[in-house]
Amino acid sequence: MDATGGETTGLAGDGTGTMLTVDSLSIRFRRSAAARPVVEDVSFSIDAGESVALVGESGSGKTLTCRSILRILPRGAEVCGGAIQFGCGAERADLLRLPAKRLRDVRGSRISMIFQEPMSALSPLHTIGAQTAEVLRLHGQASRAKAREESLRMFERVGFPDPDRAFRSYPFQLSGGLRQRAMIAMAMVARPKLLIADEPTTALDVTLQAQVLALIKTLQAETGMAVLLVTHDLGVVANMADAVVVLRAGRVMESGNCADVLGRPLHGYTRKLMMAAPVIPECPAPSFPCPAGADAILEFHDIAKTFERGDRTVKALNGVDLRLRRGETLAIVGESGSGKTTLARLAMLADRPDPGGRILFRPDAGKPAMDLLDQTGAGLLGYRRSAQMVFQDPYASLSPRMTVGAIIAEPLAIHGIGGAAERRERVRALMAQVGLDPAWTNRYPHAFSGGQRQRIGIARALALDPALLICDEPTSALDVSVQAQVLDLLESIKTRLGLSLMFISHDLAVVARLADRVAVMRAGQVVEQAPPGILFSAPLHPYTQALIAASPEPDVSRPIDIATVARGAGRPDLWPDSFRPTPDRSGPPLLEIAPGHFVRRAA
Amino acid sequence: MSRAWKHQFDPEPWSPDDDAGPASRLDPGASAGRLMLRRFLRHRLAVLAALFLGLSYLSLPFVDFLAPYGANERDVEHLYAPPQPIHLFHEGRFVGPFVYPTAGRADLREYRWRYETDATRPMPLGFFCPGAPYRFLGLVETRLRLVCPPEGATLHLLGTDRLGRDILSRLAIGAQLSLTVGLLGIAVSFGIGVTLGGMAGYFGGRTDYAVQRLSEILKSLPELPLWLALSAAVPAHWSPVAVFLCISVILGLLDWPGLARAVRSRFLALREEDFVMAAELMGASPARIIGRHLLPNFASHLLASATLSIPAMILGETALSFLGLGLRPPATSWGVMLNDAQNLTAVETYPWVSAPMIPVILVVLSFNFLGDGLRDALDPYHDS
């Protein structure tokens, strides 16, 4: 195979700067019925000190491509063509044909990898320190003492507040962000020439993502290593990469400098991805003011929820007051641990709040509200009929043993509505309503893609003609382009059926297009609440500001403002005085500083 | 320093509606059961085991017809006769299936039986001929057998035992008890296991605690002495069938903890699934949740666990009968037959008396292969 082939290598023909050349790589699954390879003729190259992003949706072959570099393809997948040249000068070798022993020398020491899920990529039985020092010991680069010293230095570098303690910690003792930092330290400790980062921040909250990305970038500037970033997020690309390779169904759709590809996309698919990427609007449309005192369908009054975790208690919710007005979309945004999912579970009465709180539900406008926590029997069943939930994971929320028809008809069956023929008719209508072919009623969930499954979930939620729909991160498991479609669907259904929507999300950009009002939650409290127009243009709370600043935009001219993120997402004592929690830890009160705009700060 | 990349794109025509690939490599129209079947068929060893077991169980009602001799039919002229081959050619001439007659004599120096074959007289086998009388399916008295020894000769393909009974025929007839004791036992243990495990998994709390501790206590008791004690309590004067039933129940009573644990953990895992939560939030009653959402999703796992516990039952029966505490003569089972193999001298001089080990091994292995195949097939969504 000609090692200098491929369209991009010709530009860096001198060979001194090129660190990695992937040349017409093809990968296929051995037992797959489809004759077509899953990765087909992919070529690109990375120079020392350069960052290249492989972008694509699920099934695009981006992960297979990056895994083939270290020859860690999953069982059944094999490279069926191409070459991967790595190194400079005399060291240059084809990784695909390197003997296993020499490949081991390369792995970890000259090419290292950061995985998506730090919890499963770190060994639970060894301390972080031992695992990091092992990298150096394995490659015979250092004595035990030296390895420890190096690891400690790297821990400090990646931002562990106490490197010594981190060295002795086990992965389960660290938070998600720290775990990913440990993973980075482990990948970086041997000073690799190439770092492969496979979705390094997908499992992290946005504010953490911003900080981890900034860290990778600084480390790269210091060491001059090349970075291959695999991601689905164009916003991350814009912030991190010099060049980008867009993959779709195993083929390169478009490649070029980041500014070129994101600024002037040539391929239709790239344009489609750009369009679908949720963006926080710079000048949001003025949202219509809701009439004050409008009829609320669901009200939370002073809701708290405490969980017992062994001998200590965790306050998941701490004094939440919220009103969901009839016909509006209330978005609840927060990062992991903010209590947003607990709130959704309470709203669905899957859990009960601590005594003292009240949840009021008003089935019809102008009628007296009923206290949901007092309901039993018929009243409870009635509420179950009018409030429905759309789940986060479209794979787990549909029973694999029921046909789609049976799944959608299940709520009708539970409440004993209609005869068999009537239900069949209703199912067909619902499927058409959510954009599924009604002829598919006899198929099983496995036949559907993630987006289609989420449509099934929505159809099921609509079967009983609910008044209230609670969506718990309904799009976070989906690809960007599919996410956009599902959001469109939710929006159109909401307007058509006049539903009230409670929309839980971790992503401000997702709710920007959908919400009438946004409540930002942190540590069990609402810190700011406003219509999106006000919230995005004039956020007051430092945490809201951090969330907005951390949200990566697919625009190279609008990089993440890391200082704002660090200030707002850090400990509350970094906040300006008026926002800091009061000594009794309850925080300042929620003040209405403009009509409809509430902020938790001292008056 | 970053070099300039050439900005380029794939020139092939493209439409945004193009499916980027199939949603799944699985057949969209197939039900979960169908996918499982397909996956199971890919597991060669398991299919082979299933065929073997299927044939074995299907032939159980007809073994009397298939076997050349009755279970307790003695041939005092042929004690400890060695296995006898079936021939087709006599002196280069095709005769059809036949045997040579054998005659035994006592070797008084080595104190054993010696048999000599008279290779001059081929004696063709009879087919569909009358043999010893038996009751077909326990209903009709008949003498018809598939194959019979010729007049004046014997047909002992696996030899005979101490009393001159044909081992092959006894193996076939013994299978009736040995193979069904597993099914009966598993039915008992299944009933107890599913009920207790389901209760533990669904109600949790104290019920769970009680069931768990009970099963741990049962598991910690030494198995063999317990079996012995329980079967010693079976009155000696009971009929073989009553003893058989009793043994199955005993085996079942002691085997449920494994199944109960499997059911409980499956229940707990499934309860956490979103689709169960969805049903709960739609207002479904517990009965509906169990019947419609939980059971279909774990019935197949139960099947696999049950299949994997049948061998333990069969081995249990064999062990008990071997020790003389399970089934007793005149009932015939593999364990009862192996009882003869307790005598080491007999095994040494007449090795064919331990022939029942072969079907025991085959059946136990087959059930294990089948169970493994089922377990793999039951998760059709997990790509291997």
Tell me, yes or no, whether B138 and B262 share the same domain. no
Task: Categorize the per-residue pLDDT at A411 as very low, low, confident or very high, splitting at 50, 70 and 90.
Answer: very high
The closest CB to that of A256, out of B6, B275, B292, belongs to B6
**pLDDT of B58:** 92
Residue type for B221, please? L
pLDDT mean over B188-216: 86
Task: Categorize the per-residue pLDDT at A454 as very low, low, confident or very high, splitting at 50, 70 and 90.
Answer: very high
pLDDT mean over A226-241: 91
| Contact between A256 and B8 using a beta-carbon 8 Å cutoff | yes
Number of domains observed in the structure of chain B: 2
Percent of chain B scoring above 70 in pLDDT? 93
How many CB atoms sit inside 10 A of residue B176's CB?
Answer: 19
Which ipTM value was assigned to this complex?
0.78
Residues of A in contact with B382 (CB under 8 A): none
Tell me, yes or no, whether B96 and B125 share the same domain. yes
Chain B: residue whose CA lies nearest to A270: B9
Q: Does residue A275 surpass a pLDDT of 60?
A: yes
Task: Categorize the per-residue pLDDT at B22 as very low, low, confident or very high, splitting at 50, 70 and 90.
Answer: very low
Tell me, yes or no, whether B147 and B173 share the same domain. no
Strands lying side by side in the sheet with A312-325: A312-325, A296-309, A358-361, A370-371
| Contact between A399 and B297 using a beta-carbon 8 Å cutoff | yes
Tell me, yes or no, whether B303 and B329 share the same domain. yes
**pLDDT of B207:** 87
Q: Does residue A325 surpass a pLDDT of 70?
A: yes
Chain A: residue whose CA lies nearest to B14: A268
Chain A: residue whose CA lies nearest to B272: A396
Instruction: Say how far apart CA B370 and CA B306 lie, in whole Å.
Output: 11
The answer to whether residue B52 sits within a structural domain is no
**pLDDT of B19:** 54
Distance linking the first and last C-alpha atoms of chain B:
43
Note which residues in 248-287 of chain B have CB less than 8 A from chain A. 273-275, 277-284
Q: Does residue A2 surpass a pLDDT of 70?
A: no
Quick check: bond before B330 cis, omega within 30?
A: yes
Tell me, yes or no, whether B347 and B211 share the same domain. yes
**pLDDT of B335:** 84
Task: Categorize the per-residue pLDDT at B28 as very low, low, confident or very high, splitting at 50, 70 and 90.
Answer: low
Tokens of A290: 């809701």
Q: Domain ends where: B130, B155, B180?
A: B155
* A192-201 pLDDT per residue, tens: 999 999 988 8
Q: Domain ends where: B126, B155, B184?
A: B155
CB A249 within 8 A of CB A255: no
> Cα-flanking dihedrals φ and ψ of residue A296, to 5°?
-100, 135
Give the alpha-carbon dihedral of B352, B357, B361, B363, to 10 degrees.
100
Instruction: Say how far apart CA A262 and CA B7 lie, in whole Å.
Output: 11
Residue B234 vs residue A52, higher pLDDT: A52
Could you please report the per-residue DSSP string of B174-217?
HHHHHHHHHHHHHHHHHHHHHHHHHHHHHH-HHHHHHHHHHHHH
Q: What is the residue range of B223's domain?
A: 169-378
Note which residues in 4-33 of chain A have CB less than 8 A from chain B. 7-8, 11-12, 17, 32-33
Tell me, yes or no, whether B254 and B298 share the same domain. yes
How many CB atoms sit inside 10 A of residue A452's CB?
Answer: 23
SS3 B28: coil
> Cα-flanking dihedrals φ and ψ of residue A549, to 5°?
-70, -30
Percent of chain A scoring above 90 in pLDDT? 28
SS3 B33: helix
Q: Domain ends where: B104, B128, B155?
A: B155
Instruction: Say how far apart CA B119 and CA B122 lie, in whole Å.
Output: 7
How many CB atoms sit inside 10 A of residue B378's CB?
Answer: 19
* A90-142 pLDDT per residue, tens: 778 898 998 988 888 888 888 999 988 877 888 889 999 999 998 888 887 78
> Strands B8-9, B102-107: parallel, antiparallel or unpaired by DSSP?
unpaired
A448 touches chain B (CB under 8 A): yes
The closest CB to that of B281, out of A248, A272, A350, belongs to A350
* A210-233 pLDDT per residue, tens: 888 998 999 899 888 999 999 988
Q: Does residue B288 surpass a pLDDT of 80?
A: yes
Instruction: Say how far apart CA A332 and CA A506 lie, in whole Å.
Output: 8
**pLDDT of A503:** 93
Tell me, yes or no, whether B143 and B175 share the same domain. no
**pLDDT of B380:** 57
Beta bridge partners of B126: B148
**pLDDT of A501:** 92
| Contact between A399 and B293 using a beta-carbon 8 Å cutoff | yes
> At a CB cut-off of 8 Å and minimum separation 6, what does A18 contact?
A9, A12, A45, A46, A47, A48, A88
pLDDT mean over B15-26: 54
> At a CB cut-off of 8 Å and minimum separation 6, what does A147 contact?
A133, A136, A137, A141
* A340-396 pLDDT per residue, tens: 889 999 999 888 899 988 999 988 877 788 888 888 888 888 899 899 999 988 888
Instruction: Say how far apart CA B170 and CA B178 lie, in whole Å.
Output: 11
Size of interface A-B (CB pairs under 8 A): 153
Chain A: residue whose CA lies nearest to B382: A446
Tokens of B60: 């159980």
Angle, CA B227 vertex, CA B223 and CA B232 arms, to 5°: 155
> At a CB cut-off of 8 Å and minimum separation 6, what does A596 contact?
A289, A290, A517, A530, A531, A534
Q: Does residue A35 surpass a pLDDT of 70?
A: no
Percent of chain B scoring above 90 in pLDDT? 5
- Give the per-residue SS3 of A553-588: CCCCCCCCCHHHHHHHHCCHHHCCHHHCCCCCCCCC
Nearest-CA distance from B39 to chain A in Å?
13
* A72-96 pLDDT per residue, tens: 888 888 898 899 999 877 778 898 9
Q: Which of B5, B25, B42, B281 to mutate to test the interface with A (most CBs of A within 10 A)?
A: B5
Note which residues in 262-301 of chain A have CB less than 8 A from chain B. 264, 266-270, 272
The answer to whether residue B33 sits within a structural domain is no
Residues of A in contact with B20 (CB under 8 A): 57, 59-60, 248-249
**pLDDT of A1:** 38
The answer to whether residue B89 sits within a structural domain is yes
| Contact between A249 and B20 using a beta-carbon 8 Å cutoff | yes
The answer to whether residue B39 sits within a structural domain is no
SS3 A375: coil
Instruction: Say how far apart CA B181 and CA B251 lie, in whole Å.
Output: 9
Please report which residue ranges of A89-174 form alpha helices under DSSP H. Answer: 100-106, 118-121, 128-138, 144-157, 163-168
Chain A: residue whose CA lies nearest to B295: A401
The closest CB to that of A410, out of B6, B277, B279, belongs to B279
Task: Categorize the per-residue pLDDT at A528 as very low, low, confident or very high, splitting at 50, 70 and 90.
Answer: very high
B296 touches chain A (CB under 8 A): yes
pTM as predicted? 0.78
Tell me, yes or no, whether B120 and B244 share the same domain. no
Q: Does residue A8 surpass a pLDDT of 50?
A: no
Residue type for B126, please? G
The answer to whether residue B138 sits within a structural domain is yes
Q: At what angle do helices A450-462 and A404-414 cross, to 10 degrees?
A: 20
Tell me, yes or no, whether B149 and B289 share the same domain. no
Q: What is the mean pLDDT of chain B?
A: 82
| Contact between B381 and A47 using a beta-carbon 8 Å cutoff | no
Task: Give which of A431, A471, A479, A478 is closest to A455, Cα–Cα.
Answer: A431
The answer to whether residue B5 sits within a structural domain is no
**pLDDT of A250:** 87
> Strands A358-361, A590-594: parallel, antiparallel or unpaired by DSSP?
unpaired
**pLDDT of B23:** 44
Tell me, yes or no, whether B218 and B367 share the same domain. yes
Q: Does residue A175 surpass a pLDDT of 90?
A: no
Tell me, yes or no, whether B349 and B252 share the same domain. yes
Tell me, yes or no, whether B252 and B345 share the same domain. yes
A41-45, A401-405, B44-48, B317-321: which has the minimum mean pLDDT?
Answer: B317-321
Task: Give which of A345, A386, A424 is closest to A500, Cα–Cα.
Answer: A386
CB A407 within 8 A of CB A460: yes
Q: Does residue B249 surpass a pLDDT of 50?
A: yes
Instruction: Say how far apart CA A314 and CA A120 lie, in whole Å.
Output: 25
Residue B261 vs residue A3, higher pLDDT: B261
The CATH number assigned to the domain holding B239 equals 1.10.3720.10
| Contact between B3 and A11 using a beta-carbon 8 Å cutoff | yes
Instruction: Say how far apart CA A315 and CA A525 lie, in whole Å.
Output: 10
The CA–CA distances, whole Å, from B180 to B53, B234, B299, B363 equal 12, 19, 22, 12
* B100-158 pLDDT per residue, tens: 888 888 888 888 888 888 888 888 888 888 888 888 777 788 888 888 888 878 888 88
The answer to whether residue B97 sits within a structural domain is yes
Instruction: Say how far apart CA B218 and CA B212 lie, in whole Å.
Output: 10
A26-40, A93-107, A136-150, A265-279: which has the minimum mean pLDDT?
Answer: A26-40
The answer to whether residue B339 sits within a structural domain is yes
> Cα-flanking dihedrals φ and ψ of residue A34, to 5°?
-70, 135
Cβ-in-10-Å burial (0-12, 13-18, 19+) of A414 comes to buried
CB B168 within 8 A of CB B158: yes
